[in-house]
Amino acid sequence: MHINRSGSVLAVLLAVATTAVAGEDLARRVLVVYNENEPESKPLAEYYAQRRGVPTNQICGLRVRNVEIITRREFTEQVREPILRFMNEHGLLFQLPTTVDDPVFGHVTVPATYDNKITFVAPVYGVPLRIEEDLSYQEKGITPETPTERRRNDASVDSELTCLPAALVRLSSAILNPFFNKSPPVFDNRLNNAMVLVARLDGPDPKVVRRMIDDALTVERTGLLGRAYFDTRNIQEAGYVEGDRWIKTAAQYVRDWGFETVLDEQPDVFGADFPMTDAAIYAGWYAMDVTGPFTRADFKFRPGAVAYHLHSWSAGTIRTRSKTWVGPLLACGAAASFGNVNEPYLSLTPHVDLFFKRLLAGASFAEAGWYSQPVLSWQTTFVGDPLYRPLALSVDGQIARLEAERNPDVAWAYLRKINILLNSGDFTSAEKLCAEKATTLHSQILIDKLGTLEAARQKKK
């Protein structure tokens, strides 16, 4: 289904799946972080580590207030420093004192990272989400004449944690992300000695978090299946048109990958009565709080779904089912989402097209996320299993695995293959495969697709 489809079909994306650290067991590069002051935090951390195979000596406990918003001092003394100490004591991070001449801090001695064995950090339910602005903090080089956006030192906890291995971190304003849109998109040792990829296991309640962990592991075996929904605003106003472009490009990437894709270019967001069914992918903007189909009692994402709504405060709180966006989307069954804890400015939010480009190429959720995010030490948080790879299997790989398991969801994989054939211009083969599988699988989605193809063929006559 297409609504006001525009743009030409893009080239088929890179089919070879890549990972942040090729050839290694990524679970051994994960640090799981929990809060001892939240009773559910440690059990969830241990559950995730057991299911993923994360070594038990890579589960780090903190003692910090069990709240979503903490002070800058609390972050430094009760979050960042204890994690660094844990990593050093457990042989996960090797640092040596190094003297540097910095334009802001001057001639200083700092701990420089020479070897970092941790690529992914997974803060668990109970670890604070946001760092509030500290107006008393005056960083060198910042004056009253400095633009307001560059004086800010509020941030998401996760975005600050990406800078864990860095020798020097400026708290005011944002820091350029060296992994952003990198070509080739390889997260090598040099980068890993400068930053880590952070995605939190969090949500409205512990039950949702546990389900997210289970869904990620289950779905990545057979690959994500279902429909994709993208919601633009169709505006040309300077400062906003970029957001529409990202979403439209992402929709084209996903359509090229064979997903049935809805692209809504109307100014309003999807209404509550919009027939959003079997949603596996969602990206849209721009409403303050969750609205549309996601507020219906009967709405449910497909298992493993990835969902994102672009808004300045889409992750201002996560422990909610009705406010902002990340919490409600996860409560509706999504396995992964992301957003901003405070005003990020559009250009400094994740570029949705780059996120889906990497995810479709087989990258993990955390890798795709930080590849798409221009800056660090800022407002973004990624919520989901950092290792989750929902799109690593080729369509033929999906079909083979689902057929072997006699899984009726194989119809969705065949639908992808049919769409890929259509994208290549092979209408005859697509219609033949659709007719064959609609009959043998008795699949309503393929029967409906066959009707669409037959109508298109008749229209051509």
Measured CA to CA, the distance from residue 294 to residue 290 in angstroms comes to 7
In the predicted structure, residue 128 carries a pLDDT above the cut 90:
yes
Structure tokens at 181: 């849109």
| Digit-coded pLDDT (tens) for 133-185 | 988 877 776 777 777 777 788 999 999 999 999 977 777 889 999 999 999 99
- Please give the torsion angle defined by the CA atoms of residues 69, 71, 77 and 82, in that order, rounded to the nearest 10 degrees: 20
CA 105/CA 103 separation, integer angstroms: 6
pLDDT confidence of residue 17: 33
Q: How, if at all, do strands 30-35 and 59-62 pair?
A: parallel
Tens of pLDDT, residue by residue over 293-347, are 999 999 999 999 999 999 999 999 999 999 999 999 999 999 999 999 999 999 9
Q: For 45-84, what is each residue's pLDDT tens digit?
A: 999 999 999 999 999 999 999 999 999 999 999 999 999 9
Q: Are 183 and 357 in contact (CB under 8 A)?
A: no
Chain centroid to CA 228: 15
Q: Which is nearest to 334 in space by CA: 209, 460, 459? A: 209
Is residue 9's pLDDT more than 70? Answer: no
With cut-offs at 50, 70 and 90, classify the pLDDT of residue 461.
low
Alpha-carbon distance 405 to 425, whole Å?
31
The C-alpha atoms of residue 51 and residue 212 are separated, in whole angstroms, by 12
Torsion angle defined by CA atoms of residues 398, 399, 404 and 407, in that order, rounded to the nearest 10 degrees = 90
Residue 103 pLDDT level (bands cut at 50, 70, 90): confident
